[in-house]
Amino acid sequence: GSARRDVHDIVSVRRSRFARSQRAYYRRPMNLVRGRGVWLYDEDGFGYLDAINNVTHVGHAEPRVSAAAARQLAKLNTNSRFVYEGIAAYAERLCATLPDPLEVAFLVCTGSEANDLALRIARQVTGRTDVLVLDGAYHGNTTAVTGISPNRYKGPGGTGAPPTTHEVVRPDRYRGPYGYDDPDAGARYAADVAAVVAGLDSPPAAFIAESLMGTAGTIMLPDGYLPAAFSAVRAAGGLCISDEVQVGVGRLGSAFWGFETHGVVPDIVTMGKPLGNGHPIAAVVTTREIADAFDTGMKYFNTFGGNPVSCAIGQTVLDIVQGDGLQEHAADVGAYFLRTLHELRERHAVVGDVRGQGLYLGIELVRDGREPATAEAMAVAEAMKDRGVIVYPTGVHDNVLKIKPPMVFDREHVTRFAETLDAVLLSLR
Ligand code: PMP
């Protein structure tokens, strides 16, 4: 056999065999060999509390998921044009989590692919091309969705918005024009959506938004924002797309899907990350009316989307989330986590804002008032990792520590996280 590679060998092969744009987490990464629940372990058996993995939704190496995958893999796997029972069971199960009239699914493999298809459906059905996006948003990596991701096209190496993409103001009450103290912030930010719609040369195909902005830095949309934004877009004949890739499947605690926390029903929903607990499963769900209007006679085929193994895994993930009460758990532990972080904020000037909902939280680090503490955020993440806790910066200024752990994260893990963060912040003063 070949000699065991250490972390330096792996990093060196990554350097030679991958493009530099494919960045790994951390300056001094660890070599991960296994995971369990909320824990990841390196080659020395050192455990890291994982506070950022919203892909492994029901926990790392969840035994019921592994068993379902192994069972199905040993029995039948094929492309999705054949007829088999698992795809029917999963489609019904997934659609049952959504309100009427969302009832028609496309099973795909990645969040990017889901958003790409949602965009294609919206453009086809409306016969239009223009799309409204929230400033700072990330919706994926295909050519089309990079073009609706300000987080990329305005970031390093970006070449700006395509002519069909129109940004609305990011409804960020910490940095934006309307703050937490403004009870009308939702209506005010939504007025900008109406103004952008009114200013278009031709009416929009769609408005796309996450129900809580992830990569933009845990930006909670203010109350009333989505209902008013949806109304403005629909009044112009546009479709409303909710990107639930990051925040869906019970993570926000008070609802299974993020849009439900805002009292809206989108025309198209896209979902991904948590559906397969790490296995690539994503989906687009829409109405019968829209799905029928998308049917021009052209075939839609997705080789891997909805294959028997994916469906077996997807079904098991939904069983676990619902059977184990993980949504309620996220509400309870998330509220406790947020209270704990508010206490930390009182004692550390570098913590400018803490926010979020359920098990999707963010800690915004600042200096001299509200200057983004970008370098500090990376230093904190690196130091936390050295002490066995995984958290990472994100946001338009890369100064927001994102917290979106496996949903089995408990109060004892919150305590461990908070004690470690407290110690690291003291050591970096
Ligand atoms: N939408 C959102 C909101 C995301 O955060 C991401 C990934 N971070 C995507 C879409 C793209 O998903 P994927 O990486 O599975 O293509």
Q: Is the pLDDT of residue 1 over 80?
A: no
Q: Is the C-beta atom of 245 inside 6 A of ligand 1? A: yes
Evaluate: CB of 243 within 6 angstroms of ligand 1: yes
According to the model, what pLDDT value does residue 387 have? 97
DSSP letter at 230 equals H
- Does ligand 1 come within 6 angstroms of the Cβ of 253? no
353 lines ligand 1 (CB under 6 A): no
Pocket test for ligand 1, best of 245, 247, 394 (most atoms within 8 A of CB): 245
Q: Are 330 and 252 within 8 A, CB to CB? A: yes
Q: 170 C-alpha vs ligand 1 centroid, how far in Å?
A: 18
Mean pLDDT of 68-94: 97
Average pLDDT over residues 38-43: 97
pLDDT at residue number 82: 94
Q: What is the residue with the minimal CA distance to atom 10 of ligand 1?
A: 139
Question: Does residue 149 have its Cβ closer than 6 Å to ligand 1?
Answer: no
Cβ pair 420, 408 in contact under 8 A: no
Please tell me the distance from the alpha carbon of residue 217 to that of residue 207, in angstroms, as a whole number: 20
Residue 4: pLDDT over 90: no
Does the structure show a pLDDT above 90 at 252? Answer: yes
The answer to whether the beta carbons of residues 257 and 210 sit under 8 Å apart is no
Query: If you average pLDDT over residues 273-287, what whole number do you get?
Result: 98
Q: Give residue 111 CA to ligand 1 midpoint distance, Å.
A: 5
Lowest mean pLDDT among 21-35, 171-185, 386-400: 21-35
* pLDDT greater than 90 at residue 21: no
Write down all domains in the chain, each with its CATH number in brackets: 7-58+325-427 (3.90.1150.10), 64-323 (3.40.640.10)
Minimum CA distance residue for ligand 1 atom 1: 139
Distance from the Cα of residue 223 to its chain's centroid: 20
Q: How far apart are CA 154 and CA 160, in angstroms?
A: 5
Interface predicted TM-score of the whole assembly (ipTM), two decimals: 0.99
Please indicate whether residue 173, judged by its CB atom, sits closer than 6 Å to ligand 1.
Answer: no
At 396 the pLDDT is: 96
Q: How far apart are CA 38 and CA 213, in angstroms?
A: 23
- What is the tens place of the pLDDT at every residue in 93-148? 999 999 999 999 999 999 999 999 999 999 999 999 999 999 999 999 999 999 99
Between CA 195 and CA 203, with CA 197 as vertex, the angle to 5 degrees is: 160
List CB contacts of 133: < 8 A, sequence separation 6 or more: 139, 148, 149, 150, 165, 166, 167, 168, 207, 208, 209
pLDDT grade for 209, boundaries at 50, 70 and 90: very high
Q: Is the pLDDT of residue 29 over 50?
A: yes
- Provide the pLDDT confidence category of residue 323 given band limits of 50, 70 and 90: very high
Check pocket membership of 116 for ligand 1, CB cut-off 6 A: no
The residue-averaged pLDDT of 221-231 equals 98
Q: Is the CB of 242 under 6 A from ligand 1?
A: no
Distance 421 CA to ligand 1 centre (A): 27
- Read off the pLDDT of residues 364-409 as tens digits, 9 standing for 90 and up: 999 999 999 999 999 999 999 999 999 999 999 999 999 999 999 9
Residue 35's pLDDT is what?
A: 98
Least confident piece of the model among 14-28, 160-174, 322-336, 355-369: 14-28
pLDDT for 304 beyond 70 = yes
Predicted confidence at residue 3, as pLDDT, reads 63
pLDDT score of 2 more than 60: no
Ligand 1 centroid from CA 368, angstroms: 33
Q: Taking 80 as the threshold, does the pLDDT of residue 238 lie above it? A: yes
Instruction: Judge contact between 143 and 109, C-beta under 8 A.
Output: no
The reply to whether ligand 1 has any atom less than 6 angstroms from the CB of 110 is yes
| Backbone dihedral angles phi then psi of residue 128, each to the nearest 5 degrees | -125, 170
117 lines ligand 1 (CB under 6 A): no
Give the count of alpha carbons within 13 A of 139, CB side only.
34
Least confident of 24-28, 171-175, 275-279: 24-28
Q: How far apart are the first and last CA of the chain?
A: 48
Instruction: Give how far Cα 348 sits from Cα of 137, 340, 341, 364, 429, Å.
Output: 29, 13, 10, 12, 9
- Reply yes or no on whether the pLDDT at 305 is more than 70: yes
At 335 the pLDDT is 98
pLDDT of residue 205: 98
Who's near 59: CB < 8 A, 6+ residues apart?
36, 37, 38, 277, 406, 407, 408
Predicted pLDDT of residue 22? 87
* Three-state SS at 162: coil
Mean pLDDT of the chain: 97
